Amino acid sequence: MSEDAPVPFKDADALIKEIDAAAKADPPPAAPDRDAAPPAPEVTVVAAGGEAPAPAAAPSGRPAIVEFKHVTKTYGDGPKAFTAIKDVHFRIEDIPGKGEFICVLGPSGCGKSTVLRLIAGLGPQHPPTTGEVLVDGRPVVGPGADRGMVFQDYTSFDHMTVEDNVAFGLACRGVGKAERIGQAHGWIDKVGLSVKNDARKYPHQLSGGMRQRVAIARTLILSPRIILMDEPFGALDPSTRMQMQDNLVALWRDLEATVFFVTHSIEEAVYLGDRVHILSSSPGTLLREITVPPPDRPAHAMQRDPRFLEYVFDIRDTIETLEASRRAGDD
Amino acid sequence: MSDGGQAPGVGGGPPGDSWTKRLFRLREEPPYYVRILLGVSSVGLLLLVWGGMTSGDIPEHRAISPAVLPSLGETAQSLPRLFGERGLIASIAASLTRVFLGFGLACVIGIPFGMLAGAWRPLNAFVTPLVIFGRNIPIAALIPLTLMWFGIDETQKVMFLFIATVPFVFSSAASAVVAIHQRYVETAQTLGASSWQVFRKVLAPLALPQVFTDQRQLFGLAFGYIMLAELVNAKRGLGFLIQMSQKRSQPEDILMILVIIGLLAWLIDKTLSWFQRGLFPYRRDL
Ligand SMILES: Nc1ncnc2c1ncn2[C@@H]1O[C@H](COP(=O)(O)OP(=O)(O)O)[C@@H](O)[C@H]1O
Ligand SMILES: [Mg+2]
């Protein structure tokens, strides 16, 4: 434990400067001052429902990888109608050679899963009641392997060994047995499992963390353009969770995929994300998009860095302020 | 079995408890030998009561007359006669063949259709009225009906069993698929599986262990039904044998046949359960 003291990462400052520059020269937030009037967060802010500013890196006419156009989802009708998300509007650019890591934060029941499932094309969230969900410029019509999804629970096919679980998508594509098991072994290794010990096990022989590793490998093996993760680490203990975060960061660097990662841990969102989308409580609307520094160190080191914690506190304050003003506005 | 002086755990959990306490612990399975012992003692108790009620040198001294309930000894003595002149083996073979054919046919047709109906609910909605009807047909009415439709031979017995059990087989298979969590389907779909692939690679295999368990139970039902069919117009079979024993006023034969049926059913269930564990290694709870 003693070696966990906040050893400053060699190039941390340089890195953060670079990142800040990349993030349109946003300075890191000042230490939050709880007594002062809530400062407007000094980060890229997009007002919900408002016109999104012209995308910074708008590449020549490329359609956005994901775009929500004033999306509202209402379940049921008549007096029982319930609006889960309301007028959610955002655009994630398709930056060539690099995907973005978007974390979706919000209180439970605010519609985070709804947003993810709309992108995935899974019912009953799909289709939206009004508005449009576009992936790569085309409306989502149903689920597909281009949008991989990792859930929190019921994640493994219990009747298949680990290697068959990981190779599932390839099998559906008709890839031959030897070829797909070979690839599966590569991914079992990449997600930190042992090919020798774990590949032939059944899911009931694995811990919760190992099952999530299987689920991640099974999704990534198909190299989806978009990876949707719905609180994938929500049921894990803190230290397993950090290991999984590190593993995910390492894997994602080679992937060039856009990730949507739902969590209600602010730390997790700030650590993993390039950007954090904050949803309001029900009916969910997109309150803010905040750019955060991407992970440059292992989770346990970075998540105790004062600079990191400033981001966390700042976002916490932002959420409180936004919720308070929203409630005030409702009355 | 003693406390060994260990401090009792908080809430009476850990194994330091006395064995009496352990017997009353919620949902805890006793050790293998305790289970065997408990099982044997229930049978022993039954035999004891039976023996007590039928003891006495002359019939008038017995609590229950031998015409109603023969003694243990008298029942045991029926064994050579049953195996000998009464052809018990042939009857067992006849009954089992009918069950395997009739119930087997019900499984071959009911399981695939039931599983498909569990996955494609319109099919389920289409068949449901027939299934509800089929499950509630008075079994006694099916016997004369099948006699008129299929004659008095083996076909009638097999078809009777088929008609009587296929609605149960179908609905158990359908519910097993319906019970599979939707998350599995969604996971498979986001991995690019087509509907048919989801069914074949995910829904069906995940439901099969439950389907198998249900059929094990339904086999008992089928085994009971066949004896009913054998009461009418049969020349062999356990039901026929029981009925003849009644006509001959030999209750000890009936009792012995019941014991043998019980043993047979137990043996078959054990065999099926052994197969089940081999077939579904991923279900440690079976
Ligand atoms: N099929 C449904 N029918 C009715 N209400 C639903 C349905 N699915 C979700 N909801 C409601 O929509 C809201 C948002 O759900 P969800 O997106 O799952 O929230 P989150 O993932 O943020 O916890 C919740 O209040 C939930 O009760
Ligand atoms: Mg959710």
Q: Which helix (H) or strand (E) holds A135?
A: strand A130-135
% of residues, chain B, pLDDT over 70: 93
In which band, very low, low, confident or very high, does the pLDDT at B14 lie, cut at 50, 70 and 90? low
Is A147 touching B (CB cutoff 8 A)? yes
Residue B229: name the closest of B168, B171, B150, B136 by CA. Answer: B150
Q: Is the pTM of this model over 0.90?
A: no
Q: Using a CB-CB distance cutoff of 8 angstroms, which residues of chain B are in contact with residue A218? A: 191
- At A184, list the tokens: 């599966």
CA–CA dist A327, B4 (Å, integer)? 63
HSE (side-chain half, CA atoms, 13 Å) at B47? 11
According to DSSP, the β-strands at A258-263 and A101-105 are: parallel
Q: Using a CB-CB distance cutoff of 8 angstroms, which residues of chain A are in contact with residue B197? A: 172
State residue B66's pLDDT score: 86
Write the CB contacts of B118 (distance below 8 Å, at least 6 apart in sequence): B124, B173, B174, B175, B176, B177, B178, B203, B207
- Specify whether the CB–CB gap between A205 and A255 falls below 8 A: no
**What pLDDT, in 10s, does the model give residues B171-212?**
999 999 999 999 999 999 999 999 999 999 999 999 999 999
- Specify whether the CB–CB gap between A272 and A248 falls below 8 A: yes
Q: How far is CA A6 from CA A3, A307, A308, B14, B140, in A?
A: 8, 11, 12, 42, 81
State residue A27's pLDDT score: 41
State residue A57's pLDDT score: 44
User: What is the number of the ligand closest to the CA of A277?
Assistant: 1
User: What is the number of the ligand closest to the CA of A111?
Assistant: 1
Write the CB contacts of B21 (distance below 8 Å, at least 6 apart in sequence): B12
Position A37: which residue type? A
Q: Whose CA is nearest to atom 24 of ligand 1?
A: A109
Contact between B284 and A204 using a beta-carbon 8 Å cutoff: yes
In which band, very low, low, confident or very high, does the pLDDT at B10 lie, cut at 50, 70 and 90? low
Q: How far is CA A274 from CA A20, A104, A166, A278, in A?
A: 11, 11, 27, 13
State residue A97's pLDDT score: 78
Write the CB contacts of A21 (distance below 8 Å, at least 6 apart in sequence): none
Pocket-forming residues, ligand 1, beta carbon under 6 Å: A 75, 82, 84, 106, 108-114, 124, 282
CA–CA dist B278, B131 (Å, integer)? 31
- Closest Cα in chain A, distance from residue B286 (Å): 13
**What pLDDT, in 10s, does the model give residues B102-145?**
999 999 999 999 999 999 999 999 999 999 999 998 888 898 89
State residue B283's pLDDT score: 81
Q: What is the mean pLDDT of residues B218-235?
A: 89
Can you give the length of chain B in residues?
Answer: 286
- Specify whether the CB–CB gap between B245 and B231 falls below 8 A: no
Q: Which position has the token pair 């805890």?
A: B28
Helices (H), chain B: 19-23, 32-53, 72-83, 88-119, 121-136, 139-150, 154-178, 182-190, 195-197, 204-229, 238-247, 251-279
Per mean pLDDT, which range of A258-272, B16-30, B209-223 is the poorest?
B16-30
Residue A179: name the closest of A190, A163, A161 by CA. Answer: A163
State residue B139's pLDDT score: 86
Contact between B192 and A173 using a beta-carbon 8 Å cutoff: yes
CA–CA dist A315, B78 (Å, integer)? 86
At residue A293, φ and ψ (nearest 5 deg) are -70, 135
ipTM value: 0.80
Write the CB contacts of A224 (distance below 8 Å, at least 6 apart in sequence): A145, A146, A147, A148, A257
CB-CB neighbours of B153 under 10 Å: 11
Residue A289: strand, helix, or coil: strand
Contact between A202 and B282 using a beta-carbon 8 Å cutoff: yes
Q: Using a CB-CB distance cutoff of 8 angstroms, which residues of chain B are in contact with residue A171? A: 201
How is the beta sheet containing A130-135 ordered, strand by strand? A82-92, A66-75, A130-135, A138-139
- Specify whether the CB–CB gap between B232 and B143 falls below 8 A: yes
CA of A132 to the centre of ligand 2 (A): 21
In which band, very low, low, confident or very high, does the pLDDT at B235 lie, cut at 50, 70 and 90? confident
Please list, residue by residue across B17-29, b when 16 or more beta carbons sit within 10 angstroms of its beta carbon and e when fewer do. Answer: beeeebeeeeeee
- Specify whether the CB–CB gap between B253 and B91 falls below 8 A: no
Q: What is the mean pLDDT of chain B?
A: 89
CA–CA dist A280, A325 (Å, integer)? 11
CATH of B91-279 among 2.60.40.2240, 1.10.3720.10, 3.40.50.12280, 2.60.120.10: 1.10.3720.10
At residue A229, φ and ψ (nearest 5 deg) are -125, 115
Low-confidence ranges of chain A (pLDDT < 50): 1-59
State residue B11's pLDDT score: 54
